[in-house]
Structure 1
Amino acid sequence: MQRAIAPELSTWPDERPQLLASTCDHCSATAFPVQPLCPRCSREQMTDVALPRTGTLVAWTTQGFLPGAPYLGDETPETFVPFGVGLVQLGDVVRVEGRLTENSPSNLSFGMDVELTMIPLGHDEKGDEVITFAFRPVDSKGASE
């Protein structure tokens, strides 16, 4: 069985999942993940919105060490493989930090197009596969690699 690491973050298991955010009805600020209060004006008038599935990589790095608890990945210090982490501009709406499916610096570039995807992260205490969101590079024709 599969489960989302945080079901409130996206519309997964939809076929084409989207991340969920909040937009303030007063000042139009958008926040990810969903927030009860506006981060700009502190009002409670927030409306949930689905974010664009594609965006632009504006900053990135490589996570070169095994994350600490409560990380749900199956890796051990011996099997850990570094992974990419990026800041993605989703349309003109909001920037989201997330895992990248690509971890080779030579295959990542500032301004590259990326697309939301869902990937396995590890297994929970019941043995269920834990799924999380990530961004994957999109080729110049718009088809995912």
Structure 2
Amino acid sequence: MAPIDLPPVGTLWTWTVQTFAPRPPFVTPANGFEPFCLGYVDLGDVVIETRIDAQLGEFSTGDAMHLVPWTWDGPDGTELAGYAFAPSKKVHA
């Protein structure tokens, strides 16, 4: 394996809603589990699975997507940082 640079923009290929809490190491938030959107984003040479930073109705299959910062609670309650994809129209609004 070797690191490669990936583009920060792509196209939403398909998506779904995670309606149940994932298994550990997922940590259920203090205010309880809330369903969230996941999708496959086509980046050209590769398609990735990613969290979608948007609510239902804010995106559709085929939409342009943009890489955005994403945070969540870690197992010890500290905030962890990573990335998700959001509809480009939401990012640039």
Shorter-chain TM-score bucket reads: 0.7 to 0.9
Residues 94-139 of structure 1 show CA distances to partners (whole Å, capped at 9, x for unaligned) of 10001001131x22211001111121111342x4311122101111
Whichever residue aligns with residue 130 of structure 1, its letter is: L
Question: 5+ unaligned residues in a row in structure 1: which ranges?
Answer: 1-35, 37-46
- 1-structure distance, mates of 2:3, 2:71: 26
Question: What's 1:50 paired with?
Answer: 5
Select the structure with the greater relative contact order (CA < 8 A; seq sep ≥ 6).
Answer: 2
Closer, same or farther: CA 74–132 of 1 in aligned 2, 3 Å: farther
- Total equivalences in the alignment: 93
Question: What's 1:135 paired with?
Answer: 85
Shift of 1:64: 0.9
The structure with the larger Rg is 1
Question: 5+ unaligned residues in a row in structure 2: which ranges?
Answer: none
**1:1-145 → structure 2 map (5 Å cutoff):** 36=1, 47-71=2-26, 73-75=27-29, 79-90=32-43, 92-104=44-56, 106-125=57-76, 127-139=77-89, 144-145=92-93
Whichever residue aligns with residue 82 of structure 2, its letter is: T
Closer, same or farther: CA 94–50 of 1 in aligned 2, 3 Å: same
Whichever residue aligns with residue 78 of structure 2, its letter is: D
- 1-structure distance, mates of 2:29, 2:17: 16
- 1-structure distance, mates of 2:20, 2:75: 21
Percent same amino acid at aligned positions? 30
Whichever residue aligns with residue 96 of structure 1, its letter is: I
